Amino acid sequence: MKSNHNYTREELIKKYIEFSNTLRKKDGASSVDIERFASKHNMPSYFTYKKIFKKMETLKIEAGYNIVKKEYSDNEVLEKINDFYKKNKRYPARADCSGKNDFISYYEVLKRYGSLKNMYAKFGIKEFSTNLIGLKKEDDLVLQDVADIIIKYDANTWTKFRELKISPAGKAYKRRLNMNWFEMYNKAMDANKTRFLTKEDVIKKYEDVKQKLNKDIVGVNDLKKFNISTKSFTKFWGSYANFIEEYEQVDVQVKHFYYTEEELIKMYIDFSNYLNKEEGASDADFEKYAAEYGIPSHGHYRKKFTTASNLKIKAGYEPIRSNYPQFTREQIIELMYKAYKKHKRKLNRVEIKKEKALPSYVTIGRYLNETSVKKIWEIVLSEKEK
């Protein structure tokens, strides 16, 4: 078979006509037909046709087919919606308007109604908007809905969940949460465990751990040993640190200043273990999880240990050393100015990335504390052409 890039326009038209005849498509094969069956019929890909002809209408016209666009009345559209609902037990979503189902195209929906939501509103159908709003809820509420569906239908595998006749469909939940099945399932079931806990339940769990360990204040790592998530605390107090401050009457921020170096190192090691960071927790980890964990802030650690490398060394970790060359701000400006003189103009972002004599764009931006290429050049030229 020829490479997709070697077909002439005439050859593509000939193959398209043969393909349409094979599928017995009197009005010419659709884009969906090409995507689904091209490989089985030794047919060039849909991408090849799109690249040459841009639109399916152009291809069909050049192949001698008549372009007949069905104009539907509102009554016909409503009839199609009802037929779809009877067959699928749900209303059509955007993915159903692709030609694979017996429903009008999404282009037709936009042209006539502006959006699917407007279309359903016109016909007084409230179910669709309710389901749409359901997916616009916060992540934890959507996960609760997923947990309810899993429990109600015993849908503990992706196959079972996907095949449920529900609206929104299973795939819609995955897209909304941007998770794979295992991640969505585990997070939904974890959320379900703490869903019906009251404040008193959470405090009792905390007190149980406190008694078992005989500790004055329980740390996050202690909770983890008993499979207790901090989410149940953040649900009522915002963070685990807030809970400790309120319940134990301890000012966490003030208490930080009385920690010894040894205590801070031990907390850092526990924090790193909690995050499963074998190389030690990073600056970004502090920013994301320190408040939830109840550990002093990254700024507090910097005051005590000056740099992240010092902290890691004292905690017994190997500091991560970059294999990339180190620069000074002056060196970066000098290299940029040389590139400017060489090309006799300011390079754009893409050209900077391609220039072998320059470090990466990210490195340049970091040393000059700027992300805009326009402002980077302003800094370089203002310092070199004073």
pLDDT mean over 206-228: 81
Q: What is the pLDDT of residue 32?
A: 77
Copy the structure tokens of residue 155: 């849908």
Q: Are 47 and 3 in contact (CB under 8 A)?
A: no
Lowest mean pLDDT among 76-90, 96-110, 127-141: 127-141
- Is residue 168 reached through a cis peptide bond, with omega within 30 degrees of 0 on the bond before it? yes
Distance CA 269, CA 260 (A): 14
Q: What is the pLDDT of residue 255?
A: 47
Distance CA 267, CA 311 (A): 12
pLDDT mean over 226-247: 78
Copy the structure tokens of residue 159: 């196959």
Residue 4, pLDDT above cutoff 60: no
Q: What is the pLDDT of residue 323?
A: 53
Residue 183, pLDDT above cutoff 80: yes
Copy the structure tokens of residue 356: 């072998």
Ranges 46-50, 254-258, 380-384, most confident: 380-384
Residue 101, pLDDT above cutoff 80: no
What confidence tens digit (pLDDT) does each residue in 299-318 have? 778 777 777 777 888 888 87
Q: Are 28 and 66 in contact (CB under 8 A)?
A: no
What confidence tens digit (pLDDT) does each residue in 28-79 have? 888 878 887 888 888 888 888 888 888 888 888 888 887 666 677 888 888 8
Band of residue 322 on the pLDDT scale cut at 50, 70, 90:
low
How many Cα atoms sit within 13 Å of 65 on the Cβ side? 22
Residue 269, pLDDT above cutoff 80: yes
- The residue that leads in pLDDT, 21 or 216, is 21
Residue 99, pLDDT above cutoff 70: no
Q: Please, which residues have CB within 8 angstroms of residue 62's CB and are 6 or more apart in sequence?
A: 9, 13, 53
Residue 297, pLDDT above cutoff 70: yes
Is the CA virtual torsion 336, 338, 341, 344 positive or negative? negative
Copy the structure tokens of residue 291: 């408040």
What confidence tens digit (pLDDT) does each residue in 350-374 have? 888 888 788 888 788 878 878 788 8
Q: What is the pLDDT of residue 131?
A: 46
Residue 245, pLDDT above cutoff 50: yes
Copy the structure tokens of residue 249: 């009457």
Band of residue 128 on the pLDDT scale cut at 50, 70, 90:
very low
Q: Are 206 and 229 in contact (CB under 8 A)?
A: no
Residue 253, pLDDT above cutoff 80: no
Q: What is the pLDDT of residue 377?
A: 92
